[in-house]
Structure 1
Amino acid sequence: MTTALITHPDCLRHETPQGHPEQVARLARVLAALEGKAVTRVTAPMVAEDDLLRVHPKAYVEAIRAAAPAEGLAQIDADTWMSPGSLDAAHRAAGGAVRAVDLVLAGEAGNAFVAARPPGHHAERETAMGFCLFGNVALAAKHALDHHGLARVAVVDFDVHHGNGTQDLLEDEARALFISSHQFPLWPGTGTADETGPHDTVMNLPIAPGTGSEEFRRLYEDKVFPRIEAFAPDLILVSAGFDAHRDDPLADLRLETEDFVWITDRLCDLADSLCGGRLVSCLEGGYDLDALAESAAAHVDVLIARGAG
């Protein structure tokens, strides 16, 4: 089997103000770095309404649609914006995550990477924030559970910022394990270790500024991987943010590209041993364009090698 690469040109039409870190060039650089790789390219569909409503109330979905401008830019919160192309982009990013789950669970792909924007892991039930409109990974997890009937799904978020949205959307779901490693203190200021959720299915791992490869890897070996093994998921979903890279301008962790290779390989090991290799990764953050492109390409190289196995 191959690795599915799910994307759509609409995701390049989500525009933000000049100088905004979540810019069109992010996805353009990632797609350029993935050009020519041995993947199965799949068009991200528009998300189905029932998938959106698994995690967001109808009033919120309608409010986001109403906020989309016909021209110019609309400010949704302090750092979240919409342009005329943003709504379609958000629908494609969410729909792409769901499509990736469908492909992997049907055995049509060994694993999948969703190269789309806007990202999703900060979008809460009724709040758009942190560049995010819809909870892409969370709704993919709920689709896997409710539509496909999986017993358990694990979400691993190694973006440098806490996945507050994914936590908010999934913490009441006992069938979903959510694990977030993130710099702390750092925006959004959530994700302390005592936030474990009503079913003890939330694991937050705050990481001090300046932390590098050795401590990061030890944290995952000691805490994250055993927790995933004990949960025994039927599918692993990854919020793949590459802003913990030492060159990222929005944070202060010191990871190298090789660390993203390592964590991808180890998560694939777990997927192989626990759930038949079934793993879906969705692009989240990463704001130094060179580091983002290099790290995402390295991440996908591992997925290709492991998916083909």
Structure 2
Amino acid sequence: MATAFYSHPDCLDHREPPGHPEQAARLKAVELGLSGLPVERRACPMGDEADVLRCHPARYIEAVRRAVPVEGWSDWDGDTYLSPGSLRAALRGVGGACAAVDAVMAGEIANAFVAARPPGHHAESERAMGFCLFGTVAIAARRLLDHHGLKKVAIVDFDVHHGNGTQQLLWDEARVLFASSQQIPLFPGSGFPEEVGAHGQIVNVALQSGTGGAEMRAAYEARIFPALERSDAEFLLISAGFDAHEDDPLATLRWREADFRWLTERLCDWARRSCGGRVVSCLEGGYDLRALAASVAAHVEVLEEYGR
């Protein structure tokens, strides 16, 4: 089976003011990183509102729709902007994540990487923030549980910023293990180890500024991999942010491409042993374009190797 790469040109039409770090050029950097890799390219379908409703109320979806400007852009939450193409772009992200999990569940593909923007892991049930509109990975997890009937799903989020939205959307969901590593202190100001969820199903690993690959590996071996082993999860979703890279302008961790490769290998190895290798990874952060291209290449190369 193949590794699928999901994206869509509509995701280039989500626009922010000049100089904003979450720029359309990020997807072009992803394309550069994936050039030459033997992945099956698939277009993200338009997301179904019924899937968005798994995590967000109808009044929030309508609020996003009303806030989309006719031209230019509008500042909706400090650093989260809307442009005429933003809603379509965000729905492509939801559609891509849902289509990817459906395809893996159907046995059409081995695993997938979904590159869409805006990202999703900061979006709370009724609040857009941190460049994010909809909780894409949380929505995909709910689809796996409620549509496909899985009993347990795991999410690992290695973005440098805590996935506060994913955590809030799944705080009461006993069927989802959410394991996340993040630099602290840093935006959004959450992700402390004592935040464990309503059922003890959330694992947060706080990393200090300057943390490099050796410290990251030790932290994952001590906290996150044991949680995965105990989880009995039947599917692994990854919130793949590459802003822990030492060249990223928005944080001060010191990971390199080899660290993303190691982490992806360990996650895929667990998935192969525990849930039939069923993995879907979704792009979150990563704002140095060269580092993003190289890190995505390392990440997806591993997915492709494990998907053969």
Per the TM superposition, whether the score is higher than 0.5 is: yes
Per-residue Cα deviation, 1:122-159 (whole angstroms, up to 9, x for no partner): 00000000000000000000000000000000000000
Question: How far is 1:32 from its partner?
Answer: 2.3
Per-residue Cα deviation, 1:221-240 (whole angstroms, up to 9, x for no partner): 11111100100100000000
- Distance between the aligned counterparts of 1:73 and 1:28, measured in 2? 21
- Is the CA contact 1:39–1:304 (under 8 Å) kept in the aligned structure 2? yes
Match of 1:77, SS state, is: coil
The amino acid of 2:135's aligned partner reads G
How much identity, in percent, do the aligned residues show? 60
2:205 equivalent in structure 1: 205
Match of 2:134, SS state, is: coil
Mapped pair 1:139 → 2:139: yes
2:224 equivalent in structure 1: 224
- Distance between the aligned counterparts of 2:101 and 2:126, measured in 1? 24
The amino acid of 1:196's aligned partner reads V
- Is the CA contact 1:31–1:115 (under 8 Å) kept in the aligned structure 2? no
Unaligned runs of 5+ in 1: none
1:18 equivalent in structure 2: 18
- Distance between the aligned counterparts of 1:86 and 1:293, measured in 2? 23
- Distance between the aligned counterparts of 2:237 and 2:223, measured in 1? 18
1:256 equivalent in structure 2: 256
1:171 equivalent in structure 2: 171
1:99 equivalent in structure 2: 99
Show the 5 A alignment for 1:1-309.
1-308=1-308
More divergent stretch after superposition (59-68 vs 32-41): 32-41
TM-score, length of structure 2 as denominator length: 0.99
Question: How far is 1:52 from its partner?
Answer: 0.4
TM-score, length of structure 1 as denominator length: 0.99
Aligned pair count? Answer: 308
Match of 2:267, SS state, is: helix
Question: How far is 1:36 from its partner?
Answer: 2.9
Match of 2:76, SS state, is: strand
Per-residue Cα deviation, 1:3-38 (whole angstroms, up to 9, x for no partner): 010110000111110000000001111112212321
- Is the CA contact 1:191–1:205 (under 8 Å) kept in the aligned structure 2? yes
- Distance between the aligned counterparts of 2:64 and 2:280, measured in 1? 26
Unaligned runs of 5+ in 2: none
Q: What is the aligned-residue RMSD (CA, Å)?
A: 0.6
- Is the CA contact 1:248–1:291 (under 8 Å) kept in the aligned structure 2? yes
The amino acid of 2:291's aligned partner reads A
Question: How far is 1:203 from its partner?
Answer: 0.7
- Is the CA contact 1:15–1:82 (under 8 Å) kept in the aligned structure 2? yes
The amino acid of 2:223's aligned partner reads K
Runs of 4+ aligned residues of structure 1 deviating over 4 Å after TM superposition are: none
